[in-house]
Structure formats: structure tokens, C-alpha cells
A and B are shown apart, each in its own frame.
Chain A
Amino acid sequence: MKKILYSTMYSFKEIKNSKIFYSFLIFALILISGSYFVSQTSFISQGRIMVDFSIFAITIFNIFIGIFIGSSIVYDDIEKKSIFLSITRPVKRTEYLIGRFLGLTAAIIFSTVIMMLIFYFVLLIMHKYVIPLKPFAGQPTIYSLPQPLIIQALFIIIESVFIAAVALLFSLITSKALASIFTILVFFIGNVSSKMNDLVRPVKKIIGGKIVIVHQANHALTNIVHIIYAILPNFSIFNISSEAAYKIFISAGTVFYRIVYGLSYMVLLFIISSLIFTRKDIS
């Protein structure tokens, strides 16, 4: 257990010092700060534009971190041969892999927290979307983010770590570039699969008191879309930016179900990665 902890800390430090991580973080921070100027293009709903724009920036840059660092965290270690000194210590390969993955998870949490903090300060300056809280009478007012925004931040972390697990798995069986491409594809399909699934459903109408199918997509296509929808993860459930923009309360049940969904997929992907990594020749 201690070895996993040390490995996590070392990986986190390594990622934190990497150029790619800094670049994504700085870009995201520029975009979040720039959301103010974007919101000025509208006369109404400036706050909503800011929230939409910033949530998009935080999501996309964390997803990038998940994809690009996830596909290189073990791959580069093997390519640069720095892995040679790690796994020739009395360490199990799975321990090493868990350490690397948790290090990346810590880096994603770190970047999300930093981005959310900057976002919070921008909202605080604009005095939009922040909720005044007065815990005790006579004490200064504390401003908090609304519940859906905090839940959205949590979902961004889950989604990015999930994507990182996909990238890690691909990087163990193919090259870094291909792993990134495949992960982007999985992410894209995972985001549109539920919409596609809705599209191929038969269109029914009530005509003369009876339910009649007025349009039915090709059967083969329908089956393919259903299979993709069933097998590939549905990433769209982690996107609650509309709820966040309209401050719609997210129930605890929904949050719990989506977290369990994400974690179960991650564990499954990690077990497959671990099985591949244990059998892999590192030369």
C-alpha cells in the first residue's frame, strides 16, 4: 500500500512538472478568465454565457489532460526506459500501474480545482451565480457556487479520469498517437451514442386510436447503434452544463448513480489494463 502511495506522489509530481500539463492548465485559465469578455457580447443572460463557456473550457482541457497524459504516462515511461528502474525494484507491476494511474487522477483533480477556483473568482468579481451564505449572524457573508456547478466539477473529474483509463488501456496495446486517436473516437461516440440511439428508435403515432409506426430506420443500422450504445460508455450523462446554467438542483440519487456508473467502468478498464501490463514484455 505504501509503495502505491509513494508511486502516486511521484507520478503526480512528474505530471505537475510536465510541459503538456502546464500548457493545458494555462490555456484553460486564459479561457475561463476570458469568459467575461465573451459574456459581454450578449445583453441578456451574461451569467449563463459565462457558465457555459467556462464549463466547456474546464471540461475540454481536463479531457485533453486525460487523453494526452493518459496515453503517455506509461507509454513514455517504457519508451524512455525510465520504467526499467521502477519495476525492477521489489514492486508488483499492478502496484506500479495503480500508482501511475492514481498520480494522473490526482493531477486531474488538482487541475479541476485550480480551474474551478479561478472560475469562482471570476463569478465573484462579476457577482453572478454566487450564492451568499451567512452561517452566523454578525459574521461576514461567504459566497458559494450553486450546487449544480459543484456537481458538474465532480462529474468533470469522473469523466476525465474515465477517459484517462481508456487512454491508458489503448496505450498498452498500441502506439501513443493511435491510443490518443482511439480515445478521442471513444469519447466522441460516447457523447453522441445516446442521441443516436434515440434517433434510430421507431417513430410512433396514434392514428385512429391505434399506435402506428410511421418511421423505422434500417434494422441493421438500428442494431449496430444499439450495440454501440450498450457497450461503449455513455459520456453524455456527465454533462450537466444546462442544469448548471439554469441552476437546476441535481438529486443525490442521480449523482450517486452516475458516480457508480463511471467508477465501475473505470475499475473494469483498469483490470483489463493491469492484465495486459502484467503479461507485457518491457524491452
Chain B
Amino acid sequence: MIELKNTTKYFRIGFFGIKKNAVENLSLTVEAGKVTGFFGPNGAGKSTTIKMIVGLVHPSNGIIKINGYDSMDYKARLNLGYLPENPSFPRGLKGIEIISYYSKLLNKKIDKNEIYDALKLAGIFYAKDIHAHKYSKGMTQRLALAISILGDPEILIFDEPLSGLDPIGRKEFKDIIFKLKERRKTIFFSSHVLADSKELCDKIAVLVNGRLIKNEGITAIEKEAEGYTEAKLNSSKNHERTPDTTKPEQDKDYRLIAEYNTPLEVYLYDLMRKNKKN
């Protein structure tokens, strides 16, 4: 289980080192065995939050605990797998050499078969003997995924796992997440793609401008979204037409609803838009 209590992270910017909050007083609990989606627009503070959880960035204030250990303590990462956004590997080393090295950094003994299983699950087994700098973006992402699931960790944290992947890659990656979900792993992933929300998540957290504006179960949030979209559609129908918007199709809300596939997407989009400072 991951617990964040009143976590704040500020960075000092400019010549005078003016404080700028990236994450503000964030309290969040990622429940064990569930998939939690962490949504928000670009620059909302999702990656910073994830980096604080995995111990890359020190929180300025507040507490972050993973299975009872402080996030900066290496013991917090004993049962944790992390897939960073846009991972990369050094030149001149083969996929198998890289994953073998990472397997030795774990506190468990990992045999060859376990390494092969992780590579097979991530769909990169076929390229294990190719130098990693020759990999495509999707292949690099898969190798990083194989590394993150190595040793069968209980908690998996994925930072924008689907970004930059083609539709086939996205589908395959989602399937892997489904498989991990079936194994009752605690998965916490960030995304700004709203379409990922419904099919993958048990719980949704929305972060805008470093502040948590929503943190609920998928059923509750879906119900809320349906009511919200319905109200929006009705208002769109009853909207007084101007010469510019003579048909409902020309109305802003109507277009928004038509653009997204589900009421949940419309609701999340509007939630982010309304809370985002320009």
C-alpha cells in the first residue's frame, strides 16, 4: 500500500530561487491489489508525485510511505517495480545483459527462467540478444516493463506507460496491464489519455496544478459522470441558438460530448479544464 500525507513539493526557479509548487498538500492512498489511474493535464505534477513515491525526488513537506517504509528508504523499494516515462539504456549492451544486471540489484535470487518469463510477458523476448540502443521506442518501453516486473513485485508504478506508442503497442501494453491486474498487483499509473481510465482502473485520482481534485472509485465517478453528461446534453439542447450556432452540432458542449466515447471521459476532461489555471 502507498500512502501520501500532506505531501508538497516545490522547486526553486530563476536566479532568485523563487519557490514554485509542483505538488501541493497531496494526500492519497493507493490501495493494495487495485489499479489506480492518476490523471491530469501536462504539467499537473503527476510525474513529480510518482518520482517522490519511487524515491527519485525528495518531498519538501509531508510523508510518503510504501508498505510502512519511508519512500526515500531503499527498503521501500524491496517490493516495487517502476516503469519511467521514456526509459533509456546505455549504448553497447544487449537487452539480456541489461535485464540480467537489474535482476542482480534485487534482494531476491532471480534465475534465468524468471528473466525469460518477464521478457516474454513484456513481449521483448525475441530481441533479447539485440543491442538496446538499436531498439525502437516501443521495444525500449517493453524492456523497461520487463525490468519493472522482474522479481514479481507487489507494487507496480507506471509513469505514462502508453505515451508515444502506436495503436498496436498501446493495445498490447494494455493487455499486459490487464494480466497484471488479474494477478492482483497494486498498480498505480499516470496518464493524460482519458480513454485509458474506464477500461483499466478500479480507482481514479485527478491532479490539476499540483492539487488533487478527485480521488474516487470507478463506479462512483462513473455515476457522477453520467449525471453530469446528461445535464450537459440537456442544456445543449435547450441552449438559445444564435446565428452562429443554429444547430446543436455547432454547440461547444455538444461537440465535446461527440468527441469523447464515454461520459467518464467528458466528465474528466471538463474537470481538468475547469480547474486548470491558464
Task: Write the residues of chain A forming the contact surface with B, with a CB cutoff of 8 angstroms.
Answer: 2-3, 6-7, 9-10, 13-14, 16-19, 80-82, 84-92, 279, 281-283
For B150, give the chain A residue with the smallest CB separation: A89
A-B contact pairs, 15 of them (CB 8 A): A13-B93, A14-B93, A18-B92, A80-B88, A82-B88, A85-B82, A85-B84, A85-B144, A86-B105, A88-B54, A88-B84, A89-B102, A90-B106, A91-B74, A283-B51
Contacts of B190 in A (CB 8 A): none
Let me know if B93 and A90 touch, CB within 8 A.
no
Let me know if A282 and B77 touch, CB within 8 A.
no
Inter-chain residue pair count (beta carbon < 8 A): 86
Tell me the bound Cα distance from A80 to B144 in angstroms. 14
Contacting residues of chain B (143-176) with chain A, CB-CB under 8 angstroms: 144, 147-148
Tell me the bound Cα distance from A80 to B101 in angstroms. 18
B130: Cβ under 8 A from any A Cβ:
no
Let me know if B105 and A82 touch, CB within 8 A.
no
Task: Write the residues of chain B forming the contact surface with A, with a CB cutoff of 8 angstroms.
Answer: 11, 47-48, 51, 54-58, 74-75, 77-78, 80, 82, 84, 86-93, 97, 101-102, 104-107, 144, 147-148
Given contacts A84-B82, A89-B77, A279-B58, contact A2 B104 (CB under 8 A): yes
Contacts of A86 in B (CB 8 A): 102, 105
Given contacts A10-B101, A17-B93, A90-B75, contact A84 B87 (CB under 8 A): yes
B43 nearest CB across to chain A (Å): 13
Let me know if B87 and A88 touch, CB within 8 A.
no
Tell me the bound Cα distance from A279 to B56 in angstroms. 10
Tell me the bound Cα distance from A207 to B257 in angstroms. 102
For A78, give the chain B residue with the smallest CB separation: B56
Given contacts A14-B90, A18-B91, A18-B92, contact A89 B97 (CB under 8 A): no
Tell me the bound Cα distance from A19 to B11 in angstroms. 35
Let me know if A88 and B78 touch, CB within 8 A.
no
Let me know if A282 and B92 touch, CB within 8 A.
no
Let me know if A92 and B56 touch, CB within 8 A.
no
B15 nearest CB across to chain A (Å): 16
